[in-house]
């Protein structure tokens, strides 16, 4: 069984997690990698707001609860502007806690995809790589609008 934690962007701190939990249940988006595994969610919190103060502490708490993998929620990439600290979080968590980091939870909704495509937000190789696990077909993106 995989034990995971989810950290969301603080700008969405009132989010009830509907899309993330739907994707986890359906094994879509970044959770597709667990299609043939049991998964237990052992933690869910925000980054604490810019510059991400909770990133220093939340993974440790989740690790104590058995988390092996931290998912940085899709909101980090679809919000505007996308999280300016995302790539720092991706380096810090494995270095400090020895945990795998996955960018994304639910698939990118189509309405965010078209906006960011028009703005050229994800044109760099770094961004293209970061969003690979949450960039499904248009049909799936539409189902998450």
pLDDT tens across 94-141, in order? 999 999 999 999 999 999 999 999 999 999 999 999 999 999 999 999
Tokens of 60: 């440790």
Round the average pLDDT of the chain to a whole number and report it.
97
Which domains are present in the chain?
2-143 (3.40.50)
C-beta of residue 107 within 8 angstroms of C-beta of residue 76: no
pTM, rounded to two decimals: 0.96
Nearest to 25 by CA among 14, 41, 9, 13: 41
Structure confidence at residue 40 as a pLDDT band (50, 70, 90)? very high
pLDDT tens across 63-80, in order? 999 999 999 999 999 999
Q: What is the pLDDT of residue 82?
A: 97
Q: What is the pLDDT of residue 60?
A: 97
């Amino acid at each position: 069984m995989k034990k995971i934690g989810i950290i969301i962007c603080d700008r969405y701190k009132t989010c009830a997690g509907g899309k993330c939990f739907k994707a986890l249940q359906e094994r879509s988006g970044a959770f597709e990698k667990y299609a043939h595994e049991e998964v237990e969610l052992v933690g869910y919190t925000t980054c604490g707001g810019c510059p991400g103060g909770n990133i220093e502490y939340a993974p440790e708490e989740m690790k104590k609860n058995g988390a092996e993998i931290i998912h940085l929620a899709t909101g980090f990439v679809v919000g505007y502007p996308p999280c300016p600290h995302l790539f720092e979080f991706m380096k810090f968590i494995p270095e400090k806690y020895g945990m795998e980091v996955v960018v994304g939870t639910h698939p990118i909704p189509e309405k965010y995809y078209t906006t960011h495509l028009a703005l050229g937000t994800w044109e760099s190789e770094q961004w293209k790589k970061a969003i690979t696990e949450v960039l499904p077909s248009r049909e799936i993106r539409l189902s998450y609008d």
